[in-house]
């Protein structure tokens, strides 16, 4: 019985070593970007810009979404010296702050506008979005213009299963020597 446990432990060690060696750089990358993402709200606005406050939180005083979108698009094109299309990825309303954030698909930028006046509150660089796309593999889908998210799905699946495998083999590498020692008494 002890020989069987020893044999299995060697097999677990080989699997553990092979997977860890093959994916070492990716695990370092995920750990580093995950650490940065965990600290994004505590980066004094460097990784994640703080939401500014508008003039009024009363939605009756706000400009229409269409007007705000036109202002944001014009400001973006002007600030980026762009004549091309400015694609809005998402619109994030903050009613408690009287502010709306237009996040653009290109170059990780966003503009915060006062919902009442349409005045720009902040032109921000979305570093946290870039780091998140590095972390989860979305950057490869963006690079190759892959709309179905195949790279992100594949990367997340391989890394998740690998981490699960390393956890399981790591447990047995820790536990089996205790079992062997107990049986040899």
What is the pLDDT tens value at each position of the chain, 185 positions in all? Answer: 789 999 999 999 999 999 999 999 999 999 999 999 999 999 999 999 999 999 999 999 999 999 999 999 999 999 887 777 889 999 999 999 999 999 998 889 999 999 999 999 999 999 999 999 999 999 999 889 888 999 999 999 999 999 999 999 999 999 999 998 888 77
CA distances for 40 relative to 62, 75, 93, 128, 131, angstroms = 30, 26, 20, 7, 10
pTM (predicted TM-score): 0.84
Tokens in use for 159? 């890394």
Q: Hey, where are the domains in the chain? A: 1-47+126-185, 50-124
CA angle at residue 139 from 136 to 141, to 5 degrees?
Answer: 100
CB burial string 52-74: b at 16+ within 10 A, e below: bebeebeeeebbeeeebbebbbe
CB 73 within 8 A of CB 86: yes
**pLDDT reported for residue 108:** 93
């Amino acid at each position: 019985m002890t020989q069987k446990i020893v044999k299995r432990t060697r097999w677990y060690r080989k699997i553990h070593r092979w997977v860890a060696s093959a994916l070492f750089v990716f695990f370092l990358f995920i750990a580093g970007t995950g650490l940065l993402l965990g600290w994004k709200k505590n980066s004094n606005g460097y990784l994640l810009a703080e939401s500014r406050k508008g003039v009024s939180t009363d939605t009756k005083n706000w400009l229409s979404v269409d007007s705000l979108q036109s202002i944001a698009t014009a400001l973006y094109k002007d600030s980026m010296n762009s004549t091309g299309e400015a694609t809005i990825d998402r619109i994030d309303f903050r009613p408690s702050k009287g502010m709306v954030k237009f996040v653009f698909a290109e170059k990780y930028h966003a503009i915060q506008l006062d919902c009442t006046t349409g005045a720009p509150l902040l032109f921000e660089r979305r570093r946290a979005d870039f780091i998140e796309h590095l972390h989860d593999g979305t950057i490869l889908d963006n690079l190759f213009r892959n709309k179905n998210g195949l790279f992100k799905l594949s990367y997340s699946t391989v890394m998740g299963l690998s981490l699960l495998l390393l956890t399981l083999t790591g447990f047995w590498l820790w536990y089996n020597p205790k079992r062997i020692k107990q049986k040899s008494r």
